Amino acid sequence: MNVLVVGGAGYIGSHCVRQLAQAGHRPVVVDNMVYGHRAAVAPEIPLYDAQIGDESAMRAILESEKIEVVMHFAAYAYVGESVSDPLKYYFNNSVATYHLLRAMLDCGVKKFVFSSTCATYGDVEPPIVEETPQNPINPYGQTKLDVEHALRNIAPAHGLSFAAFRYFNAAGAAEDGSIGEDHNPETHLIPLVFDAATSKRENIQIFGTDYPTPDGTCLRDYVHVDDLSRAHIAVFEQLNQPGAALFYNLGTGTPTSVREVIAAVEQVTGMKVPTVEKPRRAGDPPALYADATKAKTELGWKVQYPTIGPIVETAWKWHKSHPNGYGS
């Protein structure tokens, strides 16, 4: 398949591009390079520096590259920033996506894979199934849910078939350590814990130790970025059904606490991680983990990294060789 990967120079997108190529597909990348990294995309893969909201630019690429499927990873994903600057998120994550969808339909491209998030659920009782009511507690989650709703309407009207994947906490890096996570600013737990272990920062702050969880810290479902990517390829067959509207949770189902993540980093690196206990971070639900039975049953999706240890091992391999990310 000729697959347009928008946001293909970002963290999850770049891992998916690599897997598409390995599976014999032909990925083409579009990225506006705000958060993307050129070095995350192999040089032989076409990379267009374009805005997904620019319909004429997107139509030109869709047509000249004979695109059959679009995978959409291009979004802002800082929950805190979405609260302080919601319009940035509404325009980039929702409005720009509607332009992309219109360009696709103009060109007769009717297969779409959308990166959604567990943040669409809000504060709910886990394990989370796809039918769990979605009540996002921040604008980031709302913008993703808005697109899900739009897709539900667009699919039957235009014969668009789509899959919306609700990711839990994406983590880890490619096995060979050549591509990985590089956000600026970095806010995610695992890379920050590495920085504390290697004295790049003084310590890791633990946000909240009084949650109603076994060790008092938040529980999350860390899912390997290559496991996420595999689901995107496994769904191709389902997209052959015009009008298919598919929603899947992608998580391991294993709840892992902040303290367990820190312990896994200490174990994998052999280094001590200095910690400081802090109050809860605004907007953090106590526990978010998936029931991903639907993806496993319908897509034959298999999680190759079900626990935090091996996920951290891959992330460490990347971090060790790229202490300053792609700028290393």
d(CA 4, CA 117): 20
- Site for ligand UFG contains 25 (CB under 6 A): no
- Site for ligand UFG contains 166 (CB under 6 A): no
Which string of x and - marks every residue 255-274 that binds ligand UFG (by CB under 6 A)? ---x----------------
Q: How far is the CB of 125 from ligand UFG (least distance, A)?
A: 15
Which residue lies nearer to ligand UFG by CB, 2 or 203?
Answer: 203
Residues marked active site are found at 140
Count of residues that bind ligand UFG according to CB under 6 A: 21
3-state DSSP: the chain helix, strand, coil percent, rounded to 5?
Answer: 40, 20, 40
For residue 52, what are the CA distances in angstroms to 68, 72, 166, 171? 17, 9, 21, 25
Which residue lies nearer to ligand UFG by CB, 198 or 205?
Answer: 205
Longest dimension (CA), the chain: 56
Q: How far is the CB of 250 from ligand UFG (least distance, A)?
A: 12
- Site for ligand UFG contains 284 (CB under 6 A): yes
Tracing tokens 């890096």 back to the chain, one arrives at 173
- Site for ligand UFG contains 223 (CB under 6 A): no
- Site for ligand UFG contains 220 (CB under 6 A): yes
Residues in 40-79 at the binding interface with ligand UFG, rule: CB under 6 A = 77, 79
Q: How far is the CB of 297 from ligand UFG (least distance, A)?
A: 24
Neighbouring residues of 104: CB distance < 8 A, sequence distance ≥ 6: 58, 62, 70, 110, 112, 160
- Site for ligand UFG contains 235 (CB under 6 A): no
The span of 94-102, 148-156, 269-277, 280-288 binding ligand UFG (CB under 6 A) equals 280-288
CA within 13 Å, CB half, 225 = 26
Angle at 277 between CA 271 and CA 279, to 5 degrees: 145
The alpha carbons of the chain give a radius of gyration, in whole angstroms, of 19
Question: How many CB atoms sit inside 10 A of residue 212's CB?
Answer: 7
- Site for ligand UFG contains 288 (CB under 6 A): yes
- Site for ligand UFG contains 205 (CB under 6 A): yes
Residues in 94-153 at the binding interface with ligand UFG, rule: CB under 6 A = 117-119, 140
DSSP for 7-56 reads TTTSHHHHHHHHHHHHTT-EEEEEE-SSS--GGGS-TTS-EEE--TT-HH
Binding site for ligand UFG (CB under 6 A): 77, 79, 117-119, 140, 169, 187-189, 192, 204-207, 218, 220, 258, 281, 284, 288
